[in-house]
A and B are shown apart, each in its own frame.
Chain A
């Protein structure tokens, strides 16, 4: 096995400090074209210092969280062992409070009494080009997962500081290639993959055929169908990547059995919203407005989101603020709704017939995705985002085992690839950041013989299919929750002879 994989006894083992361990690790910087497409300067502007400080002043005035979080931290240290990147790398600058301090030290120097007159006392420092580079490095070693926020006595959310820092950097000309390029594609083509409408249509037709071949039932995956009741907005990975596609087949079967009319939109063929990752609310709004426009143009009554973590955060928490009010939709349904809420409702109504034994070759655990767990909700009760996916899983699967409680639900550990870090140039960080989660997984494998893990986030799924092999699992050990639904559901009219055995 590769030598750079951290060796952990327990998922939450605290490493010794390795100062500078991840220093200098940086994702590719966005070129001028990718910067300018989003309205950012193409390269480092000559007056970057004034610009950066201006932006910081603006943030302090327009974002309460930024201001309060920078002032409030008492350096108690409670968050220091809560970040998976710290646990996986040992680099002290990956401790949440230390990560905040990279920016707080500059904020103090220019905007607080103590930092202006007694910088040495409060650890304040000047903004230099080296500081910018350090920001670029360590603010791209945070997946904006909010685990630290759960454990901070004041709720200080390092993700907010990371977003602010990335936004400042982009404004002075240092953007991240991966995220900015993707946002550009959404603006021009409609999805992260840059998949044009025609290709999307062809893909969906192929998938329809696949379902028919498998079940003998014709199940539609409609595209741009005006007058449909439901607009499904799902991460574009669901159209192309494994195991995401199997989840999409699951949604299609669920909609089919529930007898609702639905459609995908080619204009808003993307649930992901990387505007969140780069901390730019205007970009986030522009991407969100595409969904509104698609819903209006298609005349739908409801919007349902597919399995995607940060997309559900943006949808659940921000969509109404950014692109609402949605008074043209049917107010009898949650706006927006999560596919798992839909499926769970229908399961409770008894809509579906399941053959749970179809998943008997799987011993399953479930990974709570950060943004679903700590930045959104499902259902009416707090914590529904934990119960509903598990309820659905248990309805279709016989062998289910939770991982250690300290690594699930609101304490869940990030997959290691969230927050705009799912790029090959950060692979080292991704592998190390995944180690706490992988260690918790190995624990349930030892204790209960768990073979597979399910997730409801496109980023988690891609990240795990890449890193799980490094921890001794097959790359298809990561599953979509709706893939399990798809396996177990027996469509009306489906020939139920077990002649065709599973071929995996």
Chain B
């Protein structure tokens, strides 16, 4: 019974996330950029832009220049999250891949760093007047949600172990469209439930910053206006009306 509920929840959540994100990305990609607006100084070539974006994604370069506290908390949170996510791959593959095994110890403790980073970000929402001013309830809830995921996960790992073998069997079953049983462990219920919520709201919340970053004209356009003509809507409209 529990297995069925969570199985359906995850199928629905996955579908909503994938379809929602695909629709958003498609929309971003199809919406024209009428003018060239890179924030300069900016790389002048495609290759330069790719390097810049790698620096943004890996190091949060602009944020580093901007605010060291937000950078420190945000960077620690995101990088830990990647480690934690990588560690979780072991529950979705029958044989654990070699690099997932290597990540395992780091990913385990990264859970703490992730929660610490999030806590830092949340504290700023209360302590820094400016950030308190711009925060809406959803900004607090988002942090609560992810911290909840982190804490429930850490609890299962370090305090109240869950039957992880059974969880893995359940997940492997899901991938093969076979609905198995899930241990009735409250922390597991919370953990998986919050993850499903996160997946569902991904395409309709500020989590869109993940795909959005790659479509922000100020960052991803090359500064080559004098070398490559940027064609706007006017060319197709009426080439003739030009004086």
Q: Do A and B form a real pair? A: yes
- Contact check: which of B28, B124, B231, B243 meets A68 at CB < 8 Å? B28
Task: Select which of A62, A123, A152 is within 8 A of B62 by beta carbon.
Answer: A152
Q: Does chain B have a CB within 8 A of A385?
A: yes
Residue of B37, B129, B223, B242 most packed against chain A (CB within 10 A): B37
Q: Which of B66, B223, B242, B243 contacts A79 (CB 8 A)?
A: B66
Is A78 in contact with B218, judged by CB distance below 8 angstroms? no
A335: chain B residues at CB < 8 Å are 226
Give every chain A residue within 8 A of B40 (Cβ-Cβ): 373-377, 382, 385, 410
Give residues of chain B (211-237) contacting chain A, Cβ–Cβ below 8 Å: 212-213, 215-219, 223, 225-226, 229-234
Q: How many residues of A contact B (CB 8 A)?
A: 77
Is the beta-carbon distance between B204 and A114 smaller than 8 angstroms? yes
Which chain A positions have C-beta within 8 A of B178? none
How far is it, in angstroms, between the C-alpha of A99 and the C-alpha of B27 when the chains are bound?
Answer: 25
A69 touches B (CB below 8 Å): yes
Output the residue of A73, A81, A320 with the most chain B CB within 10 A: A320
Say if the beta carbon of B205 comes within 8 Å of chain A.
Answer: yes
Q: Collect the chain B residues with CB atoms within 8 Å of residue A146's CB.
A: 39, 218
Residues of A within 8 A of B128 (CB): 77
Within 8 A of A (CB), among B61-84: 62-63, 65-67, 70, 74
List, in ascending order, chain A residues with CB within 8 A of B213's CB. Answer: 72, 153-154
Contact partners of B44 in chain A: CB under 8 A: 377, 380-382
Task: A73 to B138: give the CA distance in the assembly, Å.
Answer: 13
Closest to B63 in A: A153
Chain B residues lying within 8 Å of A80, measured Cβ to Cβ, are 130-131, 134
A377 touching B130, Cβ below 8 Å: no
Taking CB atoms and an 8 Å cut-off, the chain A residues in 43-98 that contact chain B are 60-65, 67-69, 71-82, 92, 95, 97-98
Q: Which candidate, A213-221, A321-329, A427-435, A481-489, is the interface stretch facing chain B?
A: A321-329
Q: A156, B218: Cβ atoms under 8 Å?
A: yes
Q: Is A20 an interface residue (CB 8 A)?
A: no
Size bracket, chain B contacts: 35 or more
A72 and B234 contact, Cβ closer than 8 Å, known pairs A121-B136, A375-B37: no
Question: How far is it, in angstroms, between the C-alpha of A320 and the C-alpha of B44 when the chains are bound?
Answer: 17
Contact of B90 with A by CB under 8 A: no
| Residue contact A64 to B206, C-beta cutoff 8 Å | no
Q: Which residues of chain B are near A92, meaning CB under 8 Å?
A: 130, 133-134
Q: What is the distance, in angstroms, from A404's C-beta to the closest C-beta of chain B?
A: 15
Are B70 and A76 interface neighbours, CB within 8 A? yes
In contact, A374 and B204 (Cβ under 8 angstroms): no
- Determine which of B41, B60, B134 lies in contact with A75 in the assembled complex, contact meaning CB atoms within 8 Å: B134
Task: Tell me if A289 and B31 are in contact (CB < 8 A).
Answer: no
Residue of B208, B218, B229 touching A71 (CB-CB under 8 A): B208
Contact of A318 with B by CB under 8 A = yes
Q: Which among A95, A101, A122 has the highest number of chain B CB atoms within 10 Å?
A: A122
Chain A interface mostly:
helix
Q: Which of B43, B124, B138 contacts A121 (CB 8 A)?
A: B138
- Contact: A17 with B133, CB < 8 Å? yes
> Which residues of B sit under 8 angstroms from A385, Cβ to Cβ?
40-41
Q: Is A167 an interface residue (CB 8 A)?
A: no
Residue of B nearest to A406 (CB): B65
**From residue 47 to 100 of chain B, which have CB atoms closer than 8 A to chain A?**
56, 60, 62-63, 65-67, 70, 74
**Cβ of A32 < 8 Å from any Cβ of B?**
no
Interfacial chain B residues near A122, Cβ < 8 Å: 136-138
Instruction: State how many angstroms separate the Cβ of B208 from the closest Cβ of chain A.
Output: 5
- Are A281 and B35 touching (Cβ within 8 A)? yes
Distance, CA A140 to CA B126, complexed state (A):
30
Contact between chains at B60 and A153 (CB < 8 Å):
yes
Question: B-side interface residues toward A, CB under 8 Å?
Answer: 24, 27-28, 31-37, 39-44, 56, 60, 62-63, 65-67, 70, 74, 121, 124, 128-131, 133-139, 141, 204-206, 208-209, 212-213, 215-219, 223, 225-226, 229-234, 242-243
In the complex, besides A63-B32, A122-B138, A150-B39, 20 extra interface pairs with C-beta distance below 8 angstroms are: A69-B216, A74-B209, A75-B136, A76-B74, A95-B130, A95-B133, A150-B65, A151-B63, A154-B213, A160-B37, A281-B34, A321-B35, A321-B232, A336-B226, A375-B37, A377-B41, A377-B223, A382-B42, A383-B41, A410-B41
The 10 A-B pairs of least Cβ separation, nearest first, read A72-B212, A123-B136, A155-B218, A155-B219, A151-B66, A382-B41, A77-B131, A80-B130, A153-B63, A78-B66
